[in-house]
Amino acid sequence: MSQLSPCPLRIEINEVAPRDGLQIEARFVPTQDKIRWIDALSTTGLKRIEATSFTSPKAIPNLRDAADVVTGIQRRGAVDITALVPNIKGAERALACNVDEINLVMSASDSHGLANLRMTPEQSLEQFAAILDVTQGSGVFINASLSTTFGCPFEGEVPEARVLELVERLIALGIQGVTLCDTTGMANPTQVKRLCEAVLERWPETPFTLHVHNTRGMGLANALAAWQAGITRFDSALGGLGGCPFAPGATGNVCTEDLVHMFEAMGVDTGVDLDALLNVAATLPELISHEVPGQVVKAGKSTRRYPMPVSAIQ
Ligand code: COA
Ligand code: ZN
């Protein structure tokens, strides 16, 4: 563990289920249901909610109501509303809705960039430069999410040197925060810890976020490894929803309530009221018409106790 980065006592959660979660659902969730859900989430102590994406409605039909969602939700000062944006058109739409943050998205690998965005990383960087011209002076925080940072479902390994080069170029452009994304759950804890230590050491002033998917059951382990490297910002999705529709084999993000439960049990302050969050998580199967992978909502917190069986105490 880096001496500069002891395990943090406090972390921040960015809830991405309204974006990463709903984008891959089979069914469109009605706009008013999304708004009620996000309003409920925003009372639970989450630091940030990625409410939607301003993408092409042809690419992501489930989020075609992005503007109505962002302008329809209650804005509470304590919760930043962010939205995923792939290009200049998306940035203009997001700005028009007064988001607090724009989360630009690009891929670290050419193949996923072309499959997901029809853009290579180089083309995405050109878009970002144009977007930063438009957003300058707006006061909106500009974050960039780097998909396939820990591996690409088409190309396999993405060299760490390539990831560091792209992070450097993002920061040089004027991007304020960077999210390292394990798009299809290819990362392992050793790899996550090494890359997180590397970026924190090289760019100690830049807020870095970890975004992991639990596709191979390593989501919580990877989050823990990032925390041990000194990462304080995590993306996660209620219920463990999520996945990129243009990344073969993609499944859900690390589950927010399971992540909060783990960190709170370890004495790390997440700022989240876990009981309130679990109450919202319990409404998910009705909202999206199927069961979700989240575990704590089914098992109860680790403080749950059961009565002894009568036969054992007689
Ligand atoms: N918001 C709304 N509409 C958009 C848009 C945006 N941000 N960007 C492009 N469009 C529209 C264009 O106006 C055009 O519409 P038209 O056919 O009615 O004229 C159409 O989409 C195609 O535009 P073009 O610039 O050629 O885009 P493209 O077809 O090359 O698609 C993206 C590029 C980035 C817009 C598209 O691939 C996309 O939205 N991808 C998002 C993928 C995603 O969110 N993945 C999951 C998250 S990781
Ligand atoms: Zn994701």
pLDDT of residue 162: 98
The owner of tokens 């996923």 is 112
What's the whole-number mean pLDDT along residues 136-148? 97
**Distance between CA atoms of residues 65 and 70, nearest Å:** 9
259 within 8 A of 236, measured Cβ to Cβ: yes
- Helices 219-229 and 189-202 cross at an angle (nearest 10°) of 30
CATH code matching the domain that covers 12-313, chosen among 3.20.20.70, 3.40.50.2300, 1.10.420.10, 1.10.3720.10: 3.20.20.70
User: Phi and psi at residue 213, in whole multiples of 5°?
Assistant: -105, 150
Express each pLDDT in 224-238 by its tens digit: 999 999 999 999 999
C-alpha distances in angstroms, 146 versus 161, 219, 261, 278? 14, 17, 27, 29
Q: Residue 271, by phi and psi: left (phi above 0), alpha (psi -120 to 50) or beta?
A: left
**Distance between CA atoms of residues 105 and 125, nearest Å:** 10
Distance in Å, CA 184 to ligand 2 centroid: 8
Distance in Å, CA 105 to ligand 1 centroid: 13
Distance in Å, CA 253 to ligand 2 centroid: 6
- Helices 219-229 and 256-265 cross at an angle (nearest 10°) of 50
pLDDT over threshold 90, residue 2? no
Express each pLDDT in 193-219 by its tens digit: 999 999 999 999 999 999 999 999 999
pLDDT over threshold 60, residue 37? yes
What's the whole-number mean pLDDT along residues 21-28? 98
What's the whole-number mean pLDDT along residues 258-283? 98
pLDDT over threshold 90, residue 274? yes
Where does the pLDDT of residue 277 fall: very low under 50, low under 70, confident under 90, or very high at 90 and above? Answer: very high
Where does the pLDDT of residue 7 fall: very low under 50, low under 70, confident under 90, or very high at 90 and above? Answer: very high
Express each pLDDT in 42-63 by its tens digit: 999 999 999 999 999 999 999 9
220 within 8 A of 260, measured Cβ to Cβ: no
Calculate Rg over the CA atoms of the chain. 19
229 within 8 A of 5, measured Cβ to Cβ: yes
Locate the domains of the chain by residue range. Answer: 12-313
Residues for the chain: how many in total? 314
Distance in Å, CA 87 to ligand 1 centroid: 8
pLDDT over threshold 70, residue 5? no
Q: Whose CA is nearest to atom 20 of ligand 1?
A: 56
pLDDT of residue 1: 44
Active site positions, annotated: 244
Instruction: Give the mutation target among 56, 95, 124 for probing the ligand 1 site: most ligand atoms within 8 A of CB.
Output: 56
297 within 8 A of 257, measured Cβ to Cβ: yes
Burial (CB count <10 Å: 0-12, 13-18, 19+), residue 246 = buried
**Distance between CA atoms of residues 205 and 200, nearest Å:** 8
Residue type, 33: D
Instruction: Give the mutation target among 22, 55, 62 for probing the ligand 1 site: most ligand atoms within 8 A of CB.
Output: 55
Question: Relative to the alpha carbon of 84, which ligand is closest?
Answer: 1
Burial (CB count <10 Å: 0-12, 13-18, 19+), residue 156 = exposed
pLDDT of residue 79: 98
The owner of tokens 């925060």 is 177
Q: Whose CA is nearest to atom 43 of ligand 1?
A: 116
What's the whole-number mean pLDDT along residues 157-174? 98
Average pLDDT, the chain: 97
* E strand or H helix at 145: strand 141-147
Where does the pLDDT of residue 77 fall: very low under 50, low under 70, confident under 90, or very high at 90 and above? Answer: confident
What's the whole-number mean pLDDT along residues 79-105? 98
Question: Relative to the alpha carbon of 96, which ligand is closest?
Answer: 1
pLDDT of residue 170: 98
Where does the pLDDT of residue 4 fall: very low under 50, low under 70, confident under 90, or very high at 90 and above? Answer: low
Distance in Å, CA 309 to ligand 2 centroid: 43
Question: Relative to the alpha carbon of 247, which ligand is closest?
Answer: 1
Helix (H, G, I), strand (E, B) or coil at 2: coil
pLDDT of residue 232: 98
Within 6 A (CB) of ligand 1 lie 23, 53-56, 58-60, 84, 86-87, 89-90, 93, 105, 116-118, 147, 244, 246
Nearby residues of 103 by Cβ (< 8 Å), 6 or more positions away: 50, 82, 83, 84, 85, 143, 144, 145, 179
